[in-house]
Amino acid sequence: MYDPVMRVLTVLEILQARDFVSGAELAERLEVDLRTVQRYIVRLKDLNIPIDSSRGVGGAYRLKPGFRLPPLLLTNEEAFALSLGLRPLRQVGLSAFAPATEGTLAKLGRVLPSALHESVRTVEEVVAIEPGPWVVSTSVDCLIKAASAIRAAHRIRFGYQSHDGAASRRHIEPYAVLHFDGRWYLIGHCLSRCAMRTFRLDRVTDFEVSKATFRRPADFDARRYMQERMPFVQSDYQIDVWIDMPIEEAERNFAPWRIVTEPQDGGTRLRCGRDRLEMFAALLLSTGKQIVVRSPPELRKTFKQLAKAAKQASRPEQRISKRPL
């Protein structure tokens, strides 16, 4: 076919689909002379599409990232994946980093083949995604500021309202932000306490980025940090109990609640941090197993209170008052 436009685009398509390709192969695919292929390569370079080339045995052409995106030649399957990927972006909370999401959706909507568009809509229709009822909205502005400060290695200050309602002002070297369990967390080094701390971004106010910089640990892994630290994050009580339950069953029951389990004395030792004891005590009670409290002493008091409340609740129903109409 005589159509330079089509051929040039085909060269680009092959380059995008492959890591490298020789001039002879391109000439064969296009059914033109090798010299013509070389002219096409020059044409693409003139379009600011950066193409690397290497001479000699095994010589080839390859694409390299440039300053501007070249025309994308995507297969229908690739476009489907991209279109599908834009939807959950909002739900995971990342669309704040990609303000062009809506515009991109519009653009794809214009060019996606009808059958493909129909497939995307079908998946959306029959496959529903619900983040969960406890997803907490975080200020987009705060999230972006935090991410920018981390990227630029700048210290930050903000007002913080902790779990017990106490307000404080913090001066932090931020290491990472993490979307976990429906909430955004900031992980960093607290300069006041000289220790690592974790903050819920929805409790942050009056966010400021300092000019002062710091050196962020090069290999800091937010996920690993949270997995190791979460059970003890910001806890008023360090809990240590023994339960008459095999380690396997304990792991199934308690791991999701961020409780450290280890086998001991024919049962399992449970350790975790908690701000309030009732919830944890109730969780243990719900297992129906024997429990031995090692620490804190307050936990025994809590069980005493629960015993009283449970006993009262086990009595036959008392009428509070006549039912209103």
Site for a copy of itself in 127-156 (CB under 8 A): 127-130, 132-134, 147, 150-151
Query: What minimum distance in Å lies between the beta carbon of 74 and DNA?
Result: 24
Is the CB of residue 185 less than 8 Å from the CB of residue 198?
A: yes
End-to-end CA distance of the chain: 84
Contact partner, 34, from a copy of itself, DNA, none, Cβ < 5-8 Å per class = DNA
d(C-alpha 308, C-alpha 21), whole Å: 78
By a kind-dependent CB cut-off of 5 to 8 A, residue 179 interacts, out of DNA, a copy of itself, none, with a copy of itself
CA–CA dist 301, 293 (Å, integer): 10
Binding status of residue 31 toward a copy of itself by CB under 8 A: no
**Residue 114 makes contact with a copy of itself by CB under 8 A:** yes
Q: Return the SS3 of 41.
A: helix
Decide: is 36 part of the binding site for DNA (CB under 7 A): yes
Q: With CB cut-offs between 5 and 8 Å by kind, which of a copy of itself, DNA, none does residue 41 bind? A: DNA
Regarding 42 and contact with a copy of itself (CB under 8 A), the answer is: no
Residue 70 C-beta: closest distance to DNA, Å: 17
What is the CB neighbour count within 10 angstroms for residue 205? 13
Least distance CB 25 / DNA (angstroms): 8
Angle among Cα 5, 6, 10 to the nearest 5 degrees reads 120
Dihedral, 195, 196, 200, 203 alpha carbons, nearest 10: 20
Pick the piece of the chain touching DNA (CB under 7 A) from 20-28, 133-141, 151-159, 208-216: 20-28
CB of 240 to a copy of itself, least distance (A): 10
237-243 sheet: strands from edge to edge: 260-264, 267-274, 237-243, 291-295
Tell me how far, at minimum, the Cβ of 307 lies from a copy of itself, in Å.
4
